[in-house]
């Protein structure tokens, strides 16, 4: 029998150890989760490596938070963050923080990335981790400082980029309108601005002067300079056809783009966002596809109902608007403001009633179900008749205050109401079909008018003949 010498045993042992080391190396190289996957291969050998990687990552995160405290202290001292805008400037920033005695070398074991915006009002601290810690599910992702700046990864098991983002730029709302544009404001109009748009723009300027004491400058797009863009709070008014500055804004921001399909004829868009040339300043877009959309936006800036916590608002043209009140509307929609307004700038003009609730506008009567839903009204047997009466009022801008309710009934999810108009003597029968907690169909039938009492009302729709009907197909909440 062949004897195994001591020399052979040593060679065998060395071979086994070499094999184990080779497998460990391969495991570390090809593992998608370096230390953890390796631990599945060799619990006894690799478990220490996994814990060590987790400990290192936890230390990196703790260090970033220490640096964050130092950065905030620096901001309190100087009103801006340190560093060079637009690139990783950790080396320069570290020297500044140490010089200011806000940080010491002993507190820095790992070198993070540090990016600060051009205006030094926002920054990102980034550390590359070796493992996927729970903190990665709560950090900021994507491009916090904008495209082609620092990348902070995508949330998921493979993410290793841990980022902290902080900003001193206030998130703007339309309720900030007068405060944000109280000084150093420039209104930019298009070179092909119509008379209607120009009137709307002058109304905004006059309103701001009345509210703030400072009247904004007004310039054509062809007259503004890069310095103008950087040094002012900007109000950009017009349509894509009349003001080419809008296309420049669309290219630099995520502003809502106005098209022929959106928001539609006679409707405008009000949107507030940071000025992309200096994000410490504000920018307001007053735009529409046509001049009446711009007029609608201008009109809304002057209303107290702009005091809302939204960044963007779609508005109807409501020229010559007047607030209306009615005891039924106050009963079922307390806190909602109703306006009678020109919504079709035709000759003669078309009138409608607009409801405003929490900054949103509802075009009556089409949006009646939406108003009920957003207001929190549940249509039940106990309030169905009152809500039907409210519908009748808001669908009649020509005689809303002169309507008498003569008879009413609720049978099998159908409301029947008869009305009489004191202004022209017309009697109507209204039928409301209720389904899924909303008015699905509404039908109005003219049943007659008192002989000799008929009075023509200019903005009332016709024809005024007994037996003629009008059907309302309301927008439904699904």
Closest CA to 448 of 469, 465, 461: 465
Measured CA distances, 369 to 283, 330, 431 (Å): 34, 17, 16
Could you state, in order of their start, the residue ranges of all structural domains in the chain? 34-167, 174-316, 319-473
pLDDT of 320:
57
pLDDT of 3:
54
Task: Tell me the three state secondary structure of residue 280.
Answer: strand
The tokens for 478 are: 């699904």
pLDDT in tens, the chain (478 residues): 445 455 666 766 667 776 666 666 655 554 444 333 444 444 444 445 567 888 888 889 889 989 999 998 998 888 889 999 888 999 999 999 999 999 888 878 888 999 998 878 889 999 999 887 788 888 888 888 877 789 998 888 888 899 988 877 667 888 888 888 998 999 999 999 999 899 999 999 999 999 899 999 999 999 999 999 989 999 999 999 999 999 999 998 888 899 888 887 778 889 999 898 887 789 999 999 899 889 888 877 876 545 456 677 777 666 556 788 999 999 999 989 898 876 665 545 567 888 888 767 788 888 899 999 989 988 999 999 999 999 999 998 888 888 999 999 999 999 999 999 887 788 999 999 999 889 989 999 988 876 554 444 444 555 556 778 888 877 777 5
The tokens for 259 are: 């098209």
Task: Tell me the three state secondary structure of residue 140.
Answer: coil
pLDDT of 342:
67
HSE, side-chain direction, 13 A CA sphere, residue 19: 6
pLDDT of 348:
55
Q: What topology is assigned to 174-316 in CATH? A: Chitobiase; domain 2 (3.30.379)
Place of tokens 């944000």: 180
The H-assigned helical ranges of 158-316 are 177-180, 195-212, 226-231, 245-252, 291-301
The tokens for 285 are: 């877009």
């Amino acid at each position: 029998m062949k004897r195994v010498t001591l020399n052979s045993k040593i060679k065998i042992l060395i071979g086994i150890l070499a094999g184990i080391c080779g497998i460990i190396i391969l495991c570390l190289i090809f593992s998608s989760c370096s230390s953890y996957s390796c631990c599945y291969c060799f619990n006894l050998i690799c478990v220490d490596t996994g814990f060590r990687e987790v400990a290192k990552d936890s230390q990196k995160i703790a260090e970033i938070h220490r640096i964050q405290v130092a950065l905030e202290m620096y901001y309190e001292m100087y009103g801006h963050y340190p560093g060079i805008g637009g690139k990783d400037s950790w080396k320069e920033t570290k020297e500044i923080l140490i010089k200011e005695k806000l940080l010491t070398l002993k507190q820095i074991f790992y070198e993070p990335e540090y990016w600060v915006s051009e205006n030094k009002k926002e920054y990102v601290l980034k550390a590359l981790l070796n493992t996927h810690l729970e903190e990665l599910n709560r950090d900021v992702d994507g491009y916090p400082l904008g495209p082609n700046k620092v990348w902070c990864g995508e949330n998921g098991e493979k993410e290793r980029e841990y980022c902290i983002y902080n900003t001193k730029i206030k998130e703007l709302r339309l309720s900030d309108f007068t405060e944000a544009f109280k000084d150093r404001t420039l209104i930019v109009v298009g070179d092909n601005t119509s008379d209607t748009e120009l009137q709307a723009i002058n109304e905004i300027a006059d309103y701001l002067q009345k509210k703030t004491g400072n009247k904004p400058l007004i310039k054509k797009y062809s007259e503004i300079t890069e310095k103008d863009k950087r040094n002012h709070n900007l109000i950009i008014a017009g349509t894509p056809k009349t003001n080419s500055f809008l296309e420049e804004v669309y290219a630099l921001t995520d502003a809502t783009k106005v098209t022929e399909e959106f928001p539609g004829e006679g409707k405008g868009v009000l949107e507030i966002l940071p000025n992309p040339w200096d994000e410490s300043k504000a920018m307001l877009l007053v735009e529409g596809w046509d001049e009446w959309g711009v007029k609608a936006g201008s009109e809304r800036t002057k209303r107290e109902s702009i005091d809302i916590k939204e960044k963007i608002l779609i508005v109807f043209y409501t020229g010559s608007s007047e607030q209306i009140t009615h005891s039924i509307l106050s009963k079922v929609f307390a806190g909602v403001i109703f306006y009678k307004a020109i919504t079709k700038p035709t000759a003669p003009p078309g009138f409608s009633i607009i409801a405003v609730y929490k900054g949103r506008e509802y075009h009556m009567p089409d949006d009646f179900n939406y108003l009920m839903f957003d207001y929190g009204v549940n249509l039940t047997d106990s309030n169905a008749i009152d809500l039907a009466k409210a519908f009748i009022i808001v669908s009649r801008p020509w005689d809303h205050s002169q309507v008498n309710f003569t008879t009413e009934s609720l049978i099998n999810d159908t409301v029947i109401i008869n009305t009489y108009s004191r202004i022209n003597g017309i009697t109507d029968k209204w039928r409301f079909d209720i389904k899924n907690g909303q008015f699905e169909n509404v039908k109005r039938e003219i049943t007659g008018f008192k002989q000799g009492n008929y009075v023509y009302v200019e903005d009332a729709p016709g024809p005024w003949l007994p037996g003629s009907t009008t059907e309302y197909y309301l927008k439904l909440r699904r």
